[in-house]
Amino acid sequence: MRRMNMKSKLQATLLALCLTIPCFADDLINADRPGIADGSTTVDAGKLQVELGLERDTGNGPSSTTTPLLIRYGITKAIEARIETGGFTRSAGDSGLSPVSAGLKIHFLDRPSLGLIARVFPHSGSGTFKSSKTTADLRLAADRDLSEKWSIEGNIGVEHGDQNSGLLAATLQYNISPAINVFVDGGATTNPSSLLLDAGTAWIIGKDLQLDFSAGFGAHGDVPDRFVAMGVSRRF
């Protein structure tokens, strides 16, 4: 009888773990970095998420180092505020701060998962990297699970600046586990035309911390010949 009780307790514990793991996986941090395409989902209301990177670009002009930064705050379940910048930039012996954007992401549909991302870049930055005029862009972001392991996300939009341009990005992701994934993606603009390709991986530690690494190259246009990047994302 005692053995039967112990066996029943073990089975109950295993069942509880099986029921808990999916919930835990659903609550994992979902960062917009790394990769070129941003996701359609928002951070939870009242949550702050900081996504910081270090990127080194080489070739096709002077080499440069940047520290891209994205700060996301959940206003409601479906709306987040966003502050985004290339951060501290050093190129050809000059250094300064890149322009800063203020924006919103609005998640408006669950199946398929769709969201709108809008950004405005006012006059900002410092030194040779200071912007001379206000620019803006608007993107539609979509996510879709292809299977238990595979998923795809894409962005399509327009950019208003010195000259208007179309924007396109797509990411194909393979989930090795709920906490580890690898991906390939690309991003393109129409005016001037350019194409950037990269691949990388992300690793979630616990629920609220993600580390990432990626590398890529410019396939066409005025983009870096090569780049490597690493980053950390933290949800508070």
What's the pLDDT at 5? 55
Domain ranges for the chain: 2-235
Query: Which architecture does CATH list for 2-235?
Result: Beta Barrel (2.40)
What's the pLDDT at 11? 53
Determine if the peptide bond prior to 192 is cis (ω within 30°): yes
Q: Whole-model pTM? A: 0.87
Percent of the chain topping pLDDT 70: 89
Cα dihedral sign, 156-58-199-44: negative
In the predicted structure, residue 119 carries a pLDDT above the cut 70: yes
Q: Compute CA 225 distance to the chain's CA centroid, rounded to the nearest angstrom.
A: 21
The set of residues, in sequence order, having a beta carbon less than 8 Å from that of 19 and lying 6+ positions away, is none
In the predicted structure, residue 125 carries a pLDDT above the cut 60: yes
The burial of 143, by beta-carbon neighbours within 10 Å (0-12 exposed, 13-18 middle, 19 or more buried), is given as buried
User: Mean pLDDT of all residues in the chain?
Assistant: 90
